[in-house]
Amino acid sequence: MSDLPFIARARSFADRIAFRTLEASHMYRELLERSEVIATELLGDQDDLQETRVALLVAPGFEYTASQWAIWRAGGIKLPICLSATEPEWEYALTDSQVSIVITDAANGPKIASLCQKLGIRQLIVNSVNQVAPKPLPHISTERRAMILYTSGTTSKPKGVVTTHANIQAQIESLVQAWEWSAEDRIPMFLPLHHIHGIINITGCALWSGALVEPFARFEMNAILDRVRSDAYTLFMAVPTIYVKLIQALEAASEADRAASVACFKKMRLMVSGSAALPASVHQQWTALTGQELLERYGMTEIGMAISNLYRGERRPGSVGAVLPGVEVRLKAENGPIITAEDEPGEIQVRGPTVFQAYWNRPEATAETFEDGWFRTGDMAVLERGYYRIMGRLSVDIIKSGGYKLSALEIEAALLEHPLIAECAVIGLPDDTWGEAVSAAVVLKSGTLEFAALRDWCKGRLSVYKIPQRLTVVRELPRNAMGKVTKPAVKALF
């Protein structure tokens, strides 16, 4: 029998509900039993999958997690793939990671069947796996590789981030401690399960703690607000785009519905925002509307979560907080020295047991991204009164204009205060005079916005060298599956 720690913990929660939908509930005992059946089917005549890559294309919920646990209990490496990706994107991930098996559910199976056939990959429809005589499952060391997650690939081909069972456990334990998870918690899960936010922060932490998860195929506003009004949840985790949509929905709702929703949001013990920068204006709007102070945190695929506002303590708008338990963080200046003083910007570098092992089959890329054992995140930040504030990606969010290093995120936060601007993305465009010109793409709430009027409005709110020099008004901003604006695609809007 496998002795992975998450299995031992699940046994202690055997009679608790792990997953609940309107149609059915599933206990932790059922997760253990079902994952053992699927693991047995995966193994066939083998005793151990020996790190065979197994892709997962299953809708969120009980069967997804039973399949994930089965891959791990059988000794495989899990590769979650995006349900809505294109066939070329699937093919890239499957071939790059040399997948041998794809587990699908009945609904998604036909979408990838021809590709599996073309690549000679075994396809296993999880719904058709029936009860079999269980066989002894292999002993799995926590130092074994457990998962490959592909980065979003905004600047180059996606890279496979390899984490071990020990890495995943460290990521989960850090958050369980910091955010005080317990078996009494209940949380909705509507974020993609090919992304660390859904896999680790929500499902991983919940199941490690014996908590209850309500899965949704996607963010279904009405269904989720109905459950909120039913007092279904103690925790809520989402991306900033979803909080913006919730604010709009609550403001448009009837007085009775709004009051009922707000009362239940207010009762939740914790609400978290992540995966993209949370504008301070949205943070403040949400607090004013619901009484809940959102907790913003910082992390990425390679490191899990590294920095978080405090669960018990200040949650500062515009800041991602302090270093999480078990994680080491330092800032390093572009010209080399380690930064020891506050208010000096530098690259975030991270070290500790949460940090990934390597990029799949990319030793050069792995070597380039580590410096003396510290992972170089490529994100710039500054430490202000003990809390980190993210300035943005070195490559796309730091604009070098007229000798200044400007934070695109800071300028975006200011522009979002404009009464006509609903969304915005700020980038640097090549400019003969300035090096890079501050350029803003905006989505309007209504009406029109003249460039000269915007520049006048910015005076007194932004230093003159931070005021946009170019403006384009668009219907929508290009975003990835997690709702992050893809800055390279924004350049094409100009």
Q: Dihedral of CA 457/458/464/465: which sign?
A: negative
4-41: per-residue pLDDT in tens? Answer: 999 999 999 999 999 999 999 999 999 999 999 999 99
- State residue 403's pLDDT score: 67
- CATH fold for the domain made of 396-491: GMP Synthetase; Chain A, domain 3 (3.30.300)
* Buried b / exposed e along 211-220 (16+ C-beta atoms within 10 A): bbbbbbeebe
**What percent of the chain is predicted at pLDDT more than 90?**
79
Residue 2, pLDDT > 80, answer no
Residue 153, pLDDT > 70, answer no
Residue 157, pLDDT > 80, answer no
Query: Residue 141: which pLDDT band, with cuts at 50, 70 and 90?
Result: very high
38-59: per-residue pLDDT in tens? Answer: 999 999 999 999 999 999 999 9
- Return d(Cα 468, Cα 454) in angstroms, integer: 8
* Every domain of the chain and the residues it spans: 5-140, 396-491
CA 30 distance to own-chain centroid: 27
**What percent of the chain is predicted at pLDDT more than 70?**
98
Judge whether 5-140 and 396-491 match in fold.
no
CA 169 distance to own-chain centroid: 17
Average pLDDT over residues 80-95: 90
Q: Which of 306, 309, 248 is nearest to 273 (CA)?
A: 309
- State residue 154's pLDDT score: 47
453-480: per-residue pLDDT in tens? Answer: 999 999 888 888 899 999 999 999 998 8
- CATH fold for the domain made of 5-140: Rossmann fold (3.40.50)
Phi, psi of 444 (to 5 degrees): -95, 150
